[in-house]
A and B are shown apart, each in its own frame.
Chain A
């Protein structure tokens, strides 16, 4: 005879099953809700930017460099280029540094040093962006103005896409390092030992085995960092110069999309179309990030398939 005799009535049983159903449906509902926020934002931004789109056209808005709100001319090309320049510079600076740092932390650093390094890197990600902005103004701007730029151009105020890129690079650094370290730690020790026991040096092993194995993870980390860099506002805004012209060198000022929105939203809204134009800027940023994520997702799946197959 069973010790625990079931004394549940069929009614109670039905109630339990019902609860199970309700919870699963609730979870589905909340998931859909949070995912649909993306859609709502996209649709909302589009709806708000319809006036400025109808006024000119997608083509003109995207390719024109004329930014004269008072005359009703809204060309977003300088802002798009500003965004791409700053983000591009940030990644070019950050990626090699991040990879070498991650390899050092996971492969070379003695335990003692690793225990100090990792919290430091994490601390970096906890610093508010505005502090990076101030650091950029006080340190990076004079550095570029007085020491770097004079070697290349006749004059630069220091407020430039390079300054934005450097500040941004420091900000995305901890993000990439922590993900790449995580990825490198999942590589089996035996795989590295296999390479070492064939007489490879540590560096050869890192280059030919660990790096290769970690590639999908490194790409994923970079994608995440770029997505973040696209949207980073305040720190970049403080050092970029915010001049609505297309930058032609790293020492030229730039005006990324987020900075445009943050600087102007809430002001000057008496100008016709202006708020619609800012919404269009937000929509652009949204589309850039969306496209970028889709493309990188495709690349990532291909890479993973190639490695796993």
Chain B
């Protein structure tokens, strides 16, 4: 599984102020699989996820050392162009944050940044991505309505479509279903499973059942360290580490 890693993290340390958030992270994330990062609140899951597309850059007093290789390129290389890295990854945050514009413009936002596509190309692209996220039939008659008029579940799918529109290779999800109702949650989960044919998907979740439903591999993080990394069933049913066992059984949370 680690023969051809999509993301390879080597000796990653992240500290904010004097606090060490991530401590010597080493991991290889395989291509075109769903990987869940689990762990208790405040263990560094989200920080780990954000280190993948350098969203940590804007945090005050943050210090990052080590390497994160995406397709073999170190994204923390000072010569690296940050917009180029971020374009490779679609981020789906905890709650949907549609941009303050129409449904159409939300999806077209990314492609417009990276080029000046023709109207017909854009139309096609918007339709494709809205279909990919199962939103097309629900919104095709009101593409010019403000995105905030959609339901929360629809907004989250719109955000996913918006991310897919820049043709990323990797999808990052930060507890992407935590604000959604059960029906919307299962729609999003099914999308993740469908999308792994084309994308590598890394999800942060605190719901073990969700990790089990959607992911191929699980990373267990505790107090800024990776405790265990392995195939989903193996890690959940037969964990090697004592800490993982306790977490999976619900003794620590």
A interface list, Cβ under 8 A from B: 110-111, 188, 190-191, 193-201, 204, 208-209, 212-213, 306-309
Whether A199 contacts B83 by the Cβ 8 Å rule is: yes
- Determine the main DSSP class of A at the interface with B: helix
Interface hits, B53-100 → A, CB 8 Å: 53, 55, 58, 60-61, 83-84, 86-87, 89-91, 93-95, 97, 99-100
Asked whether, in the complex, the Cβ of B91 is within 8 Å of the Cβ of A193, the reply is yes
> Is B131 an interface position by the 8 A CB rule?
no
Given contacts A190-B95, A193-B93, A309-B146, is CB(A198)–CB(B109) below 8 Å? yes
Q: Which of A188, A191, A193, A208 contacts B55 (CB 8 A)?
A: A193
Residues of B within 8 A of A188 (CB): 97
Interface residues of B in 126-171 (CB under 8 A from A): 146, 148-149, 159, 162-163, 166
Q: List 28 A-B contacts (CB under 8 A).
A: A111-B60, A111-B61, A188-B97, A190-B94, A191-B97, A193-B93, A194-B91, A194-B93, A194-B97, A194-B99, A194-B162, A195-B99, A197-B55, A197-B86, A197-B89, A197-B172, A198-B86, A198-B113, A198-B162, A199-B113, A199-B166, A200-B110, A200-B113, A204-B113, A209-B99, A209-B100, A212-B100, A309-B149
CB distance from A39 to the nearest CB of B (A): 38
> How many Å lie between the Cα of A193 and that of B92 in the bound state?
10
Question: Which residues of B does A touch, CB under 8 Å?
Answer: 53, 55, 58, 60-61, 83-84, 86-87, 89-91, 93-95, 97, 99-101, 109-110, 113-114, 146, 148-149, 159, 162-163, 166, 172
For residue B97, which residues in chain A have a CB less than 8 angstroms away from its CB?
188, 190-191, 193-194
Residue of B whose beta carbon sits closest to that of A110:
B60
Expressed in whole angstroms, the Cα–Cα distance for A194 and B94 within the complex equals 11
Q: In the bound complex, how far is the Cα of B101 from the Cα of A213, in angstroms? A: 9
Determine the residue in chain A with the shortest Cβ distance to B83. A199
In-complex Cβ contact of B163 among A197, A212, A213, A307 (8 A): A197
CB distance from B57 to the nearest CB of A (A): 9
List the B side residues contacting A196 at CB < 8 Å.
55, 58, 86
- Kindly report which residue of chain B lies nearest to residue A197, judged by CB atoms: B91
Cα distance, A191 to B101, chains bound together (Å): 12
Q: Give complex CA distance A38, B60 in Å.
A: 47
Known: A197-B53, A309-B148. 16 other contacts (CB 8 A): A193-B55, A194-B91, A194-B162, A197-B55, A197-B91, A197-B163, A198-B86, A198-B110, A199-B84, A199-B110, A199-B113, A199-B114, A199-B166, A204-B113, A208-B109, A307-B146
Tell whether A190 pairs with B162 under 8 Å between CB atoms, given A195-B109, A200-B113, A213-B100: no
How many Å from the CB of B139 to the closest CB on chain A? 15
The answer to whether B114 and A208 have CB atoms under 8 Å apart is: no
**A200→B83 contact, CB < 8 A:** yes
What residues on B are CB-neighbors of A191 within 8 Å?
Answer: 97, 99
Q: Do A197 and B95 form a contact, CB below 8 Å, given A307-B100, A309-B146?
A: no
Q: Complex formed: what's the CA distance from A306 to B87 in Å? A: 30
Which residues of the partner chain A approach B113 to less than 8 Å between Cβ atoms?
198-200, 204
Min Cβ gap B43→A in Å is 20
Which chain A positions have C-beta within 8 A of B89?
197
**Which B residues are CB-close (under 8 A) to A307?**
100, 146
Residues of B within 8 A of A194 (CB): 91, 93, 97, 99, 159, 162
Contacts of B149 in A (CB 8 A): 309
How many angstroms between the C-alpha atoms of A254 and B206 in the bound complex?
67
Chain A residue at smallest Cβ distance from B162: A198
The interface residues of chain B lying within 8 Å CB-to-CB of A212 are 100-101
- Pairs of residues from A and B, 9 with the lowest C-beta to C-beta distance, nearest first: A199-B87, A197-B91, A198-B110, A199-B83, A191-B97, A199-B86, A212-B100, A194-B97, A190-B93
